A and B are shown apart, each in its own frame.
Chain A
């Protein structure tokens, strides 16, 4: 009964979404100032709210089915069982294709409701169009859910017991990762809706950029945190000690992030200077299209087997048609409207605009390389033209030369003035550059050097020092008396702090990546009880292995005592788990974390009685990768909370 209620709520939501997508936009086009059209446009807001309520009801119905183990629902039976702890039964809601689609729609309607609630100052026409576009996106997704991937489909007769959720996904990181990432994916739909609404109205102005900016920043921050969580999970759960594999699943989220990064920078130019308008719109369309592509790539099964995917053509066809409509439709609108937009403020070859333009070109080129490496093998396979794979070597070869100039620019960009800058703006940076090189050389001498290591550390030091230098200059620390220092500190806007923190986060991240890449040590060694093996100055003594019993698995647990120069550091217990429900063994690594290094231990197999192959890894500065990613994400959130966006709003609503 309750699953049918969920289905019914989805159908109603579909009708409401259709209403929300068609009527307000149509009315806004015929708006001649008379009252009639205004009343029709005003339909958008209540429609958005009721759609949110309806989809939330459906979502709650699915959660309920998982909580009470309703195995008469096919989706529940194939993704959950009674032995699963409650929190994993709930996260199993988005463990498969159908449920994650519903989560997508749920987050979409929540974003829509948030826009309806917080955009009271938007002109009525603009709001009607923004909500209308989001309604149309919702129509597409609800239709996809209802007709090809209904999570409420019944299984008759009901199964007695469900299948297990993949043990790898039974983890707290995996509970939070998809919702966070989806907040990002779906959040770009707001930026997209604003762009399309502005195109329809032909008003691509600074006001549009100012409305769009905080939404885009929030979405981008969520996406950053979502990607971070996925990578963090892969690091401790997959048992290999890697944190980024250039896997198609990861690339699917990285592409919209790269374009989204370009978008938030391009939006700042549009808001401040009125330039880049066309380009910003194009980026917003691209970011959302890549988000759609990412969702489908990961959840539709096309990655595991192109051919299996093609044998069930209804889903594939729907996806292709929907993508074609969204991308084709918006590009058509763009082609029609863009020529009338105008160029906005002019700028010189050396100016902040130019620096940001270069940043945009590099980021989009980077996204293009990832797209090529991810989709090309799929195309070849689908056309039966041979099977190839494109691995980390390709991505690394391409990424270093693309990102190095970008990191160089990143530090200098904020020093350049808008419109027309000169070398005098960046003259003081020469000392920062010298200091960065010295820092890097000192660090490289301390830990051992390679050209790539020195380059990475120089860039990181350059970014960090220049960021601090920019703050000091802005506070005019070296100029006059300190009495007004605290006043100046307090008057710096949130968006400025956000930028500084995110940029510093990039520096921290680069340090982590450089040192992990260049200085990590990994040994595979066979050990017997009592054996000692030394890695990175730490002695690992194997005490022994014994069988242990977990809640829904049995495991072999090895015990290792780690010492350094005779002093105890930690006791580590990596495990090899065998889950009761499935035949898949799993390596549970043991990690001792530290600010400057992680010790990473994974148990292999027993090669002779009492003799185990063990992988021991010493990974310097891994924590800096996570720290950097968190700083980047929180920097974005801080910038989104800038008072400026809210002040303008209250000012407008009062007027």
Chain B
């Protein structure tokens, strides 16, 4: 092989490697990105097999603990729609009724949102962006309806 061919082969191998990496990245990206949705949007869509992230308020008085001490049921609301949520495990420190929360999981066929993660990366005064977004969206939609 001439040096020029060698270099060409090397460049070709590098490009193939890069293309492979790009393909890997884009497919992993497609498969694993999680959409943030509001309770209203969750109820409009059907039970899916994709995980979504839902933000809103934990409705006051809705938190119920099952007899096993671990499974909790509560309602996440954007003040327009209410979605029942079930989660099993330790709740984060900042999880409180009447406060904002974000849950990640799937809506089951029975209409219960099965959360496999409850997120609370915010301090006690601060509303998680996803939850704030859901409330704002619902308020805007309500305002638009009133006008009609």
Contacts and interface: CB of A to CB of B under 8 A. Distances in A.
A590 to B, nearest CB: 15
Contacts of B124: 582-584
A372 B25 contact: yes
A305 interface: yes
Given A349-B10, A354-B10, A394-B28, A584 B93 contact: yes
Contacts of A585: 93-94
A387 B35 contact: yes
A402 interface: yes
B91 to A, nearest CB: 7
B47 to A, nearest CB: 20
Given A388-B34, A582-B124, A398 B28 contact: yes
A349 B93 contact: no
Given A389-B34, A524-B89, A608 B29 contact: no
A604 B124 CA distance: 17
A388 B6 CA distance: 44
A241 to B, nearest CB: 11
A607 B65 contact: yes
A390 B51 CA distance: 12
Contacts, number: 98
Contacts of B123: 166, 582, 584
A346 B124 CA distance: 61
Contacts of A525: 70
Contacts of A576: 93
A559 interface: no
Nearest to A605: B91
Nearest to A608: B69
Contacts of A397: 28, 31-32
Interface in B27-82: 28-29, 31-36, 53, 65, 68-70
Interface string A231-273: 0000000010000000000000000000000000000000000
A361 interface: yes
A390 B33 contact: yes
Given A372-B29, A587-B93, A388 B35 contact: yes
A298 interface: no
A305 B128 CA distance: 9
A397 B88 CA distance: 26
B142 interface: no
A394 B33 contact: yes
Contact of B21 (A354, A365, A391, A394): A365
Contacts of B21: 362, 365, 369, 402
A301 to B, nearest CB: 12
Contact of B69 (A357, A401, A602, A611): A611
B18 to A, nearest CB: 7
Given A361-B18, A365-B18, A377-B33, 12 more contacts: A362-B21, A365-B21, A369-B25, A386-B35, A388-B33, A389-B34, A397-B28, A402-B24, A524-B90, A526-B68, A584-B94, A584-B123
21 contacts: A239-B93, A305-B129, A349-B10, A365-B18, A365-B21, A373-B29, A386-B35, A387-B133, A389-B33, A389-B36, A389-B53, A393-B32, A394-B31, A394-B33, A398-B25, A402-B21, A605-B90, A605-B91, A608-B69, A611-B69, A613-B90
Interface of B: 3, 6, 9-10, 14, 17-18, 21, 24-25, 28-29, 31-36, 53, 65, 68-70, 88-91, 93-94, 123-124, 126, 129-130, 133
For the complex of A and B, list the 10 residue pairs with the smallest distance between their C-beta atoms, beginning with the closest.
A526-B69, A387-B36, A394-B32, A397-B28, A604-B90, A365-B21, A393-B32, A583-B124, A524-B89, A585-B93
